[in-house]
Amino acid sequence: MRLSAIAAVLSLTPVAAFAASDCRVTGDPAVFGVDMTAYFATRSGETCNFAMRIPGAMHSSGVSQKPAHGTLRQLNVTTFRYTAASGYKGSDKFAVYGEGKGPYGSGRSVMTVNATIE
């Protein structure tokens, strides 16, 4: 009886409350071995996910430069989560890298990300 009551409560918990939306990222085309620049906008205090989308296989990745006005967390080898500082409006900048091999090149690529916080 207790187990079914817990299951009923858990089934009412909205999943969307825990999920972050995807950042709308624009920028240079991605190729392994070439550095790139990306841009996105988000609101103060909000969180969004963005992926390094490079054709081929990414073997490793990480954060090269932390943001000054928010937090950055790596979710998996291709996806990162950015949270803008609450109450801050302006610009933020950070960098992530990916290493791998694709049809157009191989090596390490650094993506410098320019975020506009509204």
Closest residue by Cα to residue 115 from 68, 54, 79: 68
- CA separation for the pair 1, 95 (Å, rounded): 51
Segment among 1-10, 15-24, 61-70 with least mean pLDDT: 1-10
Copy the structure tokens of residue 61: 């990745």
- Per-residue confidence (pLDDT) for residue 5, from 0 to 100: 40
The pLDDT assigned to 44 comes to 97
pTM: 0.81
Q: pLDDT exceeding 70 applies to what percent of the chain? A: 84
Specify the pLDDT at position 39: 96
Q: What is the pLDDT of residue 19?
A: 64
Phi, psi of 116 (to 5 degrees): -105, 120
DSSP label at residue 25: -
Q: By CB neighbour count within 10 A (0-12 exposed, 13-18 middle, 19+ buried), where does 13 fall? A: exposed
- Identify the pLDDT of residue 118: 95
